[in-house]
Structure 1
Amino acid sequence: MEKQKSLLAVIELGGYPNLMPLYQRLGFSVELVTSQRKARSALKKHQPDLVVAEYNYQTDFRDRSSNLETLTAVLQHYPGVKLLVFYPPRHEEVFRRFRENHEVWKAIAFPVTEQAVEEALKEL
């Protein structure tokens, strides 16, 4: 019997369709959190196959440029966990620089569609 795939969905800002039915239809058990802090806590308890998160570039962070630096630092301890990121096209340049230093399995630009996410997840 095949082990059920698991997914941690980190929804901080949203702005895209409810993807929970898609995740479940594709056979994922899903845990949903609404902040990076909660995501880090969830990762300490269970390592999913995939984390889905939003890239949020912010110039007011003192020691980092986005919400994902800390999450990717935690994910370095779990090399089997893949990261799918949704990002705004207006931040494509800074996101590209982010990807030079941080492991991102797949990235989808806004507007995020169910079809684009499904295509990505079928590659997992």
Structure 2
Amino acid sequence: MSSPPSLLMVNAFIGTAGYKTLYQELGYSVVTEWSERKAISLIRKTPPAVIVADFYHQSDFRDRLSNLESLLAAMQGSPMTRILVFYEVAHQAVLDTVSARLRIDAAFPLPVQEDRLRTTLQAWLTTPRESI
């Protein structure tokens, strides 16, 4: 019997944790990390099947546009991992700029439509990354 696919929730600001039960119902083994640095350390050791993360922008970021750029850059070397971000609509332009440089497989504005989230994650369970 194979182990369930892993899903890493990176909760920094918005709070993706509200969907943990949904992730588990779909068959994902869920790991939660509150720090991007610790999340990067985890994914370098064992890349998960999916990362779900909060995306936000603050104008006082010194050397980056968003909270996730370091994490996204680290994930570019793990093409089998799918990346899903939740974001505030007000941050759409910044998200577009970041996603033009770094891979994001799906982005859902808040409030997240749970049926859309479920459909996306189910599809990712049944469609191997290499066939996309």
Q: TM-score, normalised by structure 1?
A: 0.91
Between the two proteins, what is the percent identity of the paired residues?
38
Letter in 1 for 2:44: K
The worse-fitting range, judged by mean Cα deviation, of 25-34 and 106-115 is: 106-115
The count of aligned residue pairs is: 124
Secondary structure of the 1:117 match is helix
- Counterpart in the other structure of 2:109: 109
CA RMSD of aligned residues (A): 1.6
Q: In the alignment, what sits opposite 1:120?
A: 120
**Partners of 1:116 and 1:76 in 2: how far apart?**
25
More helix by share: 2
Whole-Å separation in 1 of the counterparts to 2:69 and 2:18: 25
Structure 1 stretches lacking a partner, 5+ long: none
Measure the CA separation in 2 of the matches of 1:13 and 1:93.
Answer: 18
Secondary structure (helix, strand or coil) at the match of 2:7 reads: strand
SS at match of 1:22: helix
Task: Give the Å deviation of 1:74.
Answer: 0.5
Matched residue SS, 1:14: coil
Q: Equivalent residue for 2:98?
A: 98
Superposed structure 1 runs of 4+ greater than 4 Å apart: none
